[in-house]
Amino acid sequence: MNPEVREIMLRRCRSKSDEDNVFTNPKTGKRLTDMKRAFHAACAAAKIQALVWHDLRATFGTRLGEAGVGAFTIAALMGHSKVRTTQRYVRA
């Protein structure tokens, strides 16, 4: 997450309580339940090709590993039940 996106997210969260959702459907005001369609629409609008949802998870895990976060912490954050799965994101 770059500094600009971080600041936008912080602004969005400041006015919300812990029970509120950050991302809501603009038509219904309810929480988003299917991010896949929104993700594809956002990629199309940004003219980003060949990016899939899993790429974001891989980037998340890789960046944590590059920052020196331990494999067990990365596993917990990514929801991996086996650290072996997480090891692909951790660089020596």
Assigned domain for 59 exists: yes
Assigned domain for 11 exists: no
In tens, the pLDDT along 7-19 reads 988 887 887 787 7
What SS3 class is residue 23?
coil
Assigned domain for 25 exists: no
Confidence of residue 91 (pLDDT cuts 50, 70, 90): low
Assigned domain for 19 exists: no
How many domains, the chain?
1
More confident residue, 37 or 76: 76
- pTM confidence score: 0.59
Assigned domain for 73 exists: yes
Assigned domain for 91 exists: yes
The one-letter code for the residue type at 49 is Q
Confidence of residue 30 (pLDDT cuts 50, 70, 90): confident
* Domain that includes residue 74, residue range: 51-92
State mean pLDDT over 55-73.
90
Assigned domain for 90 exists: yes
Assigned domain for 62 exists: yes
To the nearest 10°, the Cα dihedral for 50, 52, 58, 64?
A: 100
User: How many Cα neighbours within 13 Å face the side chain of 63?
Assistant: 10
